[in-house]
Amino acid sequence: MKPTTVSHLRQWKQQKHKFATITAYDASFAQLFEQQGIKVMLVGDSLGMTLQGHDSTLPVTVADIAYHTRAVRRGAPACLLLADLPFMSYATPEQTCHSAAELMRAGANMIKLEGGNWLIDTVKMLTERAVPVCGHLGLTPQSVNLFGGYKVQGREEATANQLLADAKSLEQAGMQLLVLECVPSELARKVTEALSIPVIGIGAGNATDGQILVMHDALGITSGHIPKFAKNFLAQSGDIRSAVQRYIQEVEQGVYPAEEHSFN
């Protein structure tokens, strides 16, 4: 199997071929996902909640992400693998370079970080140093204490315009991929159309180029609050492999996310 690259994602965007991505944290699930056709995976700081049992992503460390990145890379050698830079691991240029290097050495193809135009210099710095960057706008879980909880972002005209401006600025700075989380569907459509880079949505409607789900949400094993955008694909399938195949098919066909999984 040939490795998936960012160039493939750009081609898919141009061809209007939607693609499914998922979080992965270990070799066994990563291998299963790759075998079913998932070509892009994320080692997300969501592991703080799904694996470690915390009530937020804030306790996760670079060492945690690196450990799981190595495991996922072993299980899915051909996938395009993203890895989160966790909370306060990119506060200074020196810290950012050290954190990014650790994750790239662990097997990541690209690092993901949360934030708007204040990250322009950071994105430029990483790109100049051969570290591909995926941005993350909208609901950024590391900012949960600023937001006062996990709330939809960009519903007001001013915040929507700022998010669009941030996306354009970050792309100009060198960002090669963008995740939009919990934003109104129409705003996600505008951002997707405005950028030449691929946009992956989660709780952002079905107009984005791709979709991502936390694997626990996709398989119906989430404990506690279940997000509106989540869908239990295992409930409609006989086994995990069939559930993953169904997820891929529904994303590619534009069936998922449906209106019930989106915000207006």
Go through the chain and tell me how many residues it has. 264
Q: Which of 181, 186, 250, 260 is catalytic?
A: 181
Domain boundary assignment for the chain: 6-261
pLDDT single digits (tens) 151-205 = 788 899 999 999 999 999 999 999 999 999 999 999 999 999 999 999 999 999 9
pLDDT at 150 over 70: no
Asked whether the bond before 86 is cis by omega within 30 degrees of 0, the reply is: no
Which residue has better confidence, 146 or 12?
12
pLDDT for 238: 87
pLDDT single digits (tens) 247-256 = 999 999 999 9
pLDDT single digits (tens) 204-224 = 999 999 999 999 999 999 888
Q: Is 181 a catalytic residue?
A: yes
> What is the Cα–Cα distance from 54 to 125, expressed in whole angstroms?
32
> What is the Cα–Cα distance from 126 to 148, expressed in whole angstroms?
30
> What is the Cα–Cα distance from 256 to 248, expressed in whole angstroms?
9
pLDDT for 149: 62
> What is the Cα–Cα distance from 20 to 22, expressed in whole angstroms?
7
> What is the Cα–Cα distance from 38 to 30, expressed in whole angstroms?
9
pLDDT at 1 over 90: no
Return the CATH number of 6-261, one of 3.40.50.2000, 3.40.50.10860, 3.20.20.60, 3.40.47.10: 3.20.20.60
Tell me the mean pLDDT in the region 20-34. Answer: 98
177 has which bridge partners? 134
pLDDT at 144 over 90: no
- What share of the chain has pLDDT > 90, as a percent? 90
pLDDT for 5: 98
pLDDT for 224: 80
- Kindly report the pTM of this predicted structure: 0.96
pLDDT at 101 over 70: yes
pLDDT for 194: 98
Asked whether the bond before 132 is cis by omega within 30 degrees of 0, the reply is: no
Sign of the dihedral through C-alpha 94, 167, 216, 13:
negative
Residue 48's nearest CA partner among 69, 65, 70 is 65
